[in-house]
């Protein structure tokens, strides 16, 4: 009985519909950034797996990388999306702090080996003209 229930659960169309509704794949911040860069006519590579912090977008020739940071996990300073859960507050703060420290360390490692990095915050993707201007300026830098 347990087995058939499990199978039922796995193939339940309601569940899979609900799960796909939680996070539509083409609206992740990473995909939105890529769409913007493609529209700008830039050529980039995805995921610098060998680079510190695995940047979301890599321009190998120019030694430039871009990160898209979620405001919540990466703690966008002063942003309304960077909330802290009420329960287990100190535990959450430790987790958040570890993420922020890791981001900083990765940025230093990249800089130390001659890479320029840019962070685009998730919420900034809503202001399309601004984000385009920032990306253009970053890519034009020598
Ligand atoms: Zn934000």
pTM: predicted TM-score of the whole model, two decimal places = 0.78
Q: Which residues touch 124 (CB under 8 Å, ≥6 apart)?
A: 130, 131, 134
Q: Which residues surround ligand 1, an ion (CB under 5 A)?
A: 71, 76, 79, 81, 121, 123
> Distance from the CA of 122 to the center of ligand 1, in angstroms?
6
Q: Tell me the C-alpha distance between 66 and 72, whole Å.
A: 18
> How much distance in Å is there from the Cα of 44 to the middle of ligand 1?
24
For the record, the structure tokens of 81 come out as 């999306």
Phi, psi of 46 (to 5 degrees): -90, 145
Instruction: Report d(CA 106, CA 108) in Å as an integer.
Output: 5
pLDDT at 120 over 70: yes
Report the separation in Å between the CA atom of 79 and the middle of ligand 1, taken as the mean of its atom positions.
5
pLDDT tens per residue across span 21-45: 555 445 789 999 999 999 999 989 8
pLDDT tens for 51-93 read 999 999 999 989 999 999 999 999 999 999 999 999 999 999 9
128 C-alpha to center of ligand 1: Å? 14
72 C-alpha to ligand 1 centroid (Å): 8
């Amino acid at each position: 009985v347990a087995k058939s229930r499990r199978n039922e659960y796995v193939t339940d169309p309601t569940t899979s519909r609900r799960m796909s509704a939680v996070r539509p794949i083409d609206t992740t911040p990473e995909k939105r950034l890529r769409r913007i860069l493609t529209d700008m006519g830039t050529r980039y590579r995805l995921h610098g797996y060998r680079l510190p912090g695995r940047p979301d977008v890599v321009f190998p020739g120019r030694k430039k990388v871009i990160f898209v940071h979620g405001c919540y996990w990466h703690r966008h300073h002063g942003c309304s999306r960077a909330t802290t859960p009420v329960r287990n507050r100190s535990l959450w703060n430790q987790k958040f702090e570890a993420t922020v420290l890791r981001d900083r360390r990765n940025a230093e490692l990249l800089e130390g080996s001659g890479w320029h990095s840019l962070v685009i915050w998730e919420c900034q993707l809503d202001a399309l003209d601004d984000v385009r201007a920032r990306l253009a300026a970053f890519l034009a830098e020598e």
